[in-house]
Each structure stands twice: as structure tokens, then as C-alpha cells.
Chains A and B, each alone.
Chain A
Amino acid sequence: MNKFIDPCCEHCWHTKEKPCELFIACCTEGPLCHQNRSCEEKFKSLNNHLKYIEHDQPVIFIGKGTCGLASGAQKVEEAVKNELQKLNIKAHIEETGCVGYCSREVIVDIKLPGQERISYCEVTPKIVPKLIQKTLVQKEIFSEKLLGTYGKGSGDIPNINSVPFFKNQRKIVLENCGVINPSSIDVYIAFGGFKGLDKALRLMKPPEVVKEISESGLRGRGGAGFPTGKKWELAANQKSDKKYLICNADEGDPGAFMDRSVLESDPYRVVEGMIIGAYAIGACEGYIYCRAEYPLAIKRLEETIKKCEEYNLLGNNILGSGFSFNLHVKKGAGAFVCGEETALMASIEGKRGMPRPRPPFPSVSGLWGKPSVVNNVETFANISSIIVRGAGWFSSIGTKTSKGTKVFALSGKINNTGLVEVPMGVTLEDVVFKAGGGIPNAKHFKAVQIGGPSGGCLPESVISTQVDYESLKSVGAMMGSGGFVVMDEDTCMVDIAKFFLTFIQNESCGKCVPCREGTKRMLEIIKRIPTSYRNTKLKTDELQRFKGVVHLQRLASVIQDTSLCGLGQSAPNPVLSGLRYFREEYEEHLYERKCSAGVCKELLIYTIDNAICNGCGVCVKKCSSDAIAGEKGHAHYIIEDKCIKCGLCYESCRFNAINVN
């Protein structure tokens, strides 16, 4: 028996065509239909093998999510293989996803037979020989790059959960990420996977599943926070020959990557959640709409679906329950607005991805005019845990209105970039300074951008805000999908507003006027703010610059009130939160034409300190506009009129002779 689908003896008859309803329960507790010592042993040893408890060879786990690959995981794997061959050591290499600690990738775990699994971080091909020598040959701990142990920690070897980055986390969605091999269905089952599906299909009726989810208080993790149970109930009550269940994996928010990571590191969890959801609402067909920019996630999903079909967890008569469900992956084609549910469905139908007015809500008339439910990846990833452990357990985590946990993608100017899963109700401060490890280079925290282009920038004064749907809304941001970009004093808030408006302007589908025209006007106004005197040629430009700002707030509220979909309604948020918390910075740009963060190019002045400059001439070569003059060996000068403020000279100067102010 190498796989769970293999029969233990002639008594076992589970196949794709003739499914056994006890299959999942049998995998971990089996055999259930007959008593046989040798079969029991077979199941036990297979489980122990898959859970990496029993093995004869050392197991080397390499984190190969996109972040790991981008940090060179492929090269590390090759180096490990070479080294093993050189030393003639037999070891098993297991591919895992991302454990969340992306800033310390490549993460390599090593487990020797009969010992604890030990995690090492920042592994490069260069140190692989040392690592292998120390751990596999000398059988000691390679303390230089030690992250922690999965077993009981002691003294110098901390348990992985006591590492500051993991300490304040509570993992439900990310439980398996980076721990298990994401492409093996057997490993997922051995780690307790599909237990939720098993319980739902065997012991619960569809309305009971819906009730359980309603009672758990789970709310949509895509951003708006609509109660999932309620959405399912609406769809379940519709009478129709066909219903659809759709997973929204069109994670377009720049700065958010938790859906990618979950799909890459634990795709079975999402698919299991979807099957349970389909059973609850009575859907027979489902789609996962995934961004084409995530090739690895799409590959994993396709493999997952194939494997599930092989094990009769998808397809006809799932586990003998009479319930059938087919799942397809749809590749997105790169449109941010397709994250909006009605636009997403239009895109699946092969049309331009434009939203339509609601009602009718998708639960009543969605894909191809049939009742449809659209949920986010993270929402589905929560479902099986809720079914297994019960609504009471889930609702005991979090705050009064927001239950459970939330995954945030920490990025920007923060020490520990990566994924953190925290219970609802922790403060932003905890996330930034405890899990995130604070700001690098001893810089000062300025703001955190939450919720992507629809969210807002929150300053230090509100950093003690709790993370839950209502609290974040009250301070002018929103939960969003979970992007969490930290900014330090070198970030200019006017520039950030400009960045998001440019993004929204590019991604606006053009259907409704407030969003299409309004955001363009807003962008024009914001763009005029950081212009230098030199580029303001006409007096009318000067006038427009002030006049625009006067109208900015009103324009923003009109866009909010009158746009068709969520994209437009939330488009002014970055500007509004900027005006609310960083008014002085806007005023400084406007009145003094100064950018203290040193970002707005037009307002900067570059000078060469002629006491330091030795005339090496590197900057002259770099300068694309011939704005630097000087004789070789003597101090150079920047000709202000010619300078286009690109900053290349500043970056290339080896003597730090160039000043910006």
C-alpha cells in the first residue's frame, strides 16, 4: 500500500466508479469495514510515512512557492542533489510550499529518522555543502542558519512557534502551508484533510452545513465581509436545475499575495472547502477563477482537481453520497475589475469583464443566469476546519462581529515580509512590530496601507486600532483582501495617492461615468500637485492646481456615491484617507512645493558636494540628459535646467557626493 487509493486487502473495494462512503474515515482510522491486524498495520505505517514520522532516509524539505523560487530555491535544490550525490548519501527531497516567512527564504527543513524536523532559513547554494555536512554527516544542528524545530524546543533550539514572527500567529488557513507537500493528496489526507468533507457528506444534511457556517460567523474574506452563511442560504433556497459555485482567486490587489500562497502551498484545502460549499447549496458545477499571473498556482490547481477526480472526491456520486460536483479552472486574462463578482462571471462567460448593477444578486441570477455563489480563496480555506471543529470553536476566536483569523500579506518597509495569520481583534501595532519585526534601517514608521487600492493609509495615531471589519472601516480603511504594505518616512503620501489613482484609472472598465471620468479628473488634480515652478508655464495652470484641490473632496464623495461597482465606490479611499491623516504633507507639496520624503521627482534638487567629488566621471556616463559637467579629476556640477531628476547619478555615485533636497 503506497497510496490511500490502493486497497489494503480484498475486502476494500473503493474505486472511482464504485465509491465507498467510509473512504476518508478509513484512511486515517482504518480499516473500518473489517478487522485485520495486518491491514491496521498497513494503514498505520502509511500514515506515519506520509506524516513524515517513520522513514529510513533523511527527508529534506525545500520551500518552493513563488517566493522561494524567486529567491533561488531551484538552485538550492540542485546544489543539495549534487552534494548528496557527491557524499553518496541517500535522502528524500520533498517539495513544500511557503511557510509564510518570505523574507527568510529559501527555507530548508531537515528531518533525520527518529529525530525532530529542523527548519533552516536563508539557505543559498553556497552554504548547502556546509549544511549537508553538518546535518546529515555529523548529525548536528547547523546553528548558523537555524530557524527552529517543529518538535519541543529547548535552549538554543527554539520551537518554530516561539520565533517572534510565528509567536502571535494563529494558523487555521495556513496550517499546512510550508509543512506538507502541496502536490500529494495522500499527505493532505494523512494530515487530517477531507475530514470536513467526510463529516458533511456522511453526517450532515445540506441545510445543516449552511447553518453551521452561519453560526460560525464566518464573513467573506475577499474584502466586503458579507456573511458567508447568509450568501449560501440565499443560493440554497433558490430552485433551479443548475447552480454554480465560484472561487474568486483573481487576486488583483497590488501588494496582496495570500491567495497565491494558499493555492500554491495547500490547494486541497481550498478544493475541499469548495466541495463542502457545493454540497451545501446544491451546486453541481464549480469554477476557480485564477489570475494568469500565477502560473504555479494554476498548475497546482489543475493537478489537485485531477487527483481529486481519481480519488472520487470530485465527479459523480462523491464518496457514494449521490452528490456530484465538477470543478474547472478558469484562467483570468489580467483585469483587476474581474475581482468584482458580476464582472468575474461575465469574464467566465467569455465576455468583457464588466460589472452589472445588482440586484438581481448572483445568488439569484448569476453565471449563465443561474444561482451562483462567489467566495474568496481564504473563505473556502476556512470551511473544512469549521465543519470538523464546529461553529462554536470558530466563533470563539476573534471579536464580537468578526470571527476567526485573517491572513495578511506583509510587505513594503518592514523587516519580516511574508504571510501572517492573526486572530481578528489584534491591533495593527502587533502586526507591524511583533510579527513584522518593525521597520528596517532604524527608520520611523509612517503609515500602513491596508486593503489595496480600495483601502486607506493609516498613520501612527490609529495604529492601536483592532483588526476587524468594523474598526478598520471606522478609521477610513477596509479589511480588503489582506494586503498590508508598511511605509516609512521615505514614502510620500501624495505619490502613493497618485500611484493608486493611476492604477484605478488603468483598471476602470469604463462602463460607468463616475468611475471612468471621475478618477481621471482626480488623477489630474493629484498629478498637478507635485509640479515644480519650472514646469508650470501658464498662469491658468497655477490656478487649476489650486482649484482642483478645492474640489477634490467633493469629487471623491460623488464618485463614492454614484459608481456602479465596488471598484469605483472605493476608488477615492486612498486620497480621502491621505487628506484625513496627512493633510500637512499635501499642504507642503501644494504651498511650499517641497517633498520631504524625497520622492516627488519634480520637486527635488540634486547638487554635487564639490568637497567630496573627485571627478571620477561615473555620473556623467550615467546621465541621460547631459546635465552633469566637469573636467575629469575635478569636482563636477549639475546643470539644473537640463536635469530631469531621474536620480541615476545619485544611485551610481560611489562616494555619496550627490545630495538631494
Chain B
Amino acid sequence: MHSKIFLNYSREDKSCLIPMLQDVQNIYNYLPEPALHEIAEFVGLPFSRVYGVATFYNQFRLAPLGENIIRVCRGTACHVKNSANILFALETHLGIKAGETTRDKKFTLELVNCIGACSIAPVVTINDDYYGRIGIKDIPKILKNYSQPAVKPEQSTAGKN
């Protein structure tokens, strides 16, 4: 599945390691170990170096994720507007801690440093949808959009303005 990625890069280009990891992660949503081995071989670096890079950056994950990825922004502006409470409410609602995936593999809860939408803090993103200015009360309603299978979730809503 990921073998096509190798065609886009040249072995001489030493800087291609991170873009390759990003591309592989785009396919699987995480970095499977066999793919890491293949990349290491391709770029001619020891596996330890590739693993070192993959664990250094926040973006890379070594374990598979749930179907929907919930990202809670923990930037300063969101923090000042009580995103800690939003996170806590999400954690209790889903029964998992930040960084974990629910047992039914539906949701993964992640923290993100700042997504740059500080003006509408606090912000939560689910997959590619933004939810701004949300309160604890909005959470069950938002999550409901994503819990039913096969129903396409509604496009992003602004929450209450």
C-alpha cells in the first residue's frame, strides 16, 4: 500500500525522511513497524535513527488510532477560556484519558498545542471539522454526530455564537 510513496523520493535526498513518515502516516493513520524498517532501508539510515525521529515529533504515532480523532486545543487562549474543563468532560464522557482510544475504536482523544484559532477559543476539532466557542453542554450533542456508523457527520458548526 505504501510502496508507491517511495517512487516520489530519491535516495540521495537526505531530507526526505520526515516527509516520507508523514506520507506513510497519512495512509495508515499511524506508523507500522514494517514500514519503518522499509523506510530505514530506503534512506540508508539505521533503524534506530528512523525510530528516533518518529518518536521525537508529536505528529507521529506508533499505535493505530480510532475512527474519529478528537483534538482538544490546549493553547493559552483556550486554557484561559477553560479548555481544561472541556478536556475533562470529554474524558469522562468517553471514559478514556487524553492520548487513548476508546475500546470500540470509535474515538481517539488527543491534545494539540495550538491550532491557531484562538479567536474562537475554546476549540475542539474532530477529524477535519472545527468546533469553536464550545461549552461542556455541547459535547454530547457534538459527539452524537460521530457515534452512529455509516452516517456522514454534519459539517462543522459554529456552536453557540
Q: Check B156 for interface membership: any CB of A closer than 8 A.
A: yes
Q: Which of A253, A335, A410 contacts B114 (CB 8 A)?
A: A253
> Roughly how many angstroms separate A179 CA and B58 CA in the complex, as a whole number?
35
Q: Check A240 for interface membership: any CB of B closer than 8 A.
A: no
The interface residues of chain B lying within 8 Å CB-to-CB of A349 are 14-15
Interface size class of B (residues with CB under 8 A): 35 or more
Q: Check A612 for interface membership: any CB of B closer than 8 A.
A: no
Q: Which of B14, B18, B76 contacts A412 (CB 8 A)?
A: B76
Contact A335 B58 (CB under 8 A): yes
> Roughly how many angstroms separate A646 CA and B15 CA in the complex, as a whole number?
46
Closest residue of B by beta carbon distance from A487: B80
Task: Pick the interface stretch among A62-70, A138-146, A527-535.
Answer: A62-70
> Roughly how many angstroms separate A413 CA and B112 CA in the complex, as a whole number?
21
Contact A254 B75 (CB under 8 A): yes
Contact A254 B77 (CB under 8 A): yes
Contacting residues of chain A (146-186) with chain B, CB-CB under 8 angstroms: none
Residue interface mask B76-107, A partner, CB < 8 A = 1: 11111100010011001000000000000000
Q: Check A118 for interface membership: any CB of B closer than 8 A.
A: no
Contact B112 A293 (CB under 8 A): yes
Q: Which of B57, B85, B89 contacts A333 (CB 8 A)?
A: B57
Interface size class of A (residues with CB under 8 A): 35 or more
Q: Check B137 for interface membership: any CB of A closer than 8 A.
A: yes
Q: Check A409 for interface membership: any CB of B closer than 8 A.
A: yes
Closest residue of A by beta carbon distance from B13: A350
Q: Check B40 for interface membership: any CB of A closer than 8 A.
A: no
Q: Which of B57, B75, B132, B156 contacts A74 (CB 8 A)?
A: B156
Task: Pick the interface stretch among A266-274, A550-558, A647-655.
Answer: A647-655
A257 smallest CB distance to B (angstroms) = 4
Contact B136 A70 (CB under 8 A): no
Q: Check B17 for interface membership: any CB of A closer than 8 A.
A: yes
Contacting residues of chain A (226-268) with chain B, CB-CB under 8 angstroms: 251-257, 260-261
> Roughly how many angstroms separate A57 CA and B43 CA in the complex, as a whole number?
55
On B, residues with C-beta under 8 Å from A are: 14-19, 21-22, 43, 52-53, 56-60, 74-81, 85, 88-89, 92, 112-121, 123, 128, 130-132, 135-137, 155-158, 161
A-B contact pairs, 25 of them (CB 8 A): A66-B116, A67-B117, A69-B130, A70-B132, A71-B161, A102-B120, A254-B113, A256-B114, A293-B113, A293-B114, A330-B18, A333-B59, A335-B57, A349-B14, A411-B118, A411-B121, A412-B118, A413-B80, A417-B119, A449-B76, A483-B118, A491-B80, A496-B76, A651-B89, A651-B137
* Beyond known contacts A251-B116, A347-B18, A349-B14: 15 more, CB 8 A cutoff: A67-B117, A72-B156, A75-B156, A257-B118, A331-B19, A335-B56, A336-B113, A349-B15, A353-B57, A409-B118, A418-B119, A483-B76, A499-B79, A624-B92, A652-B137
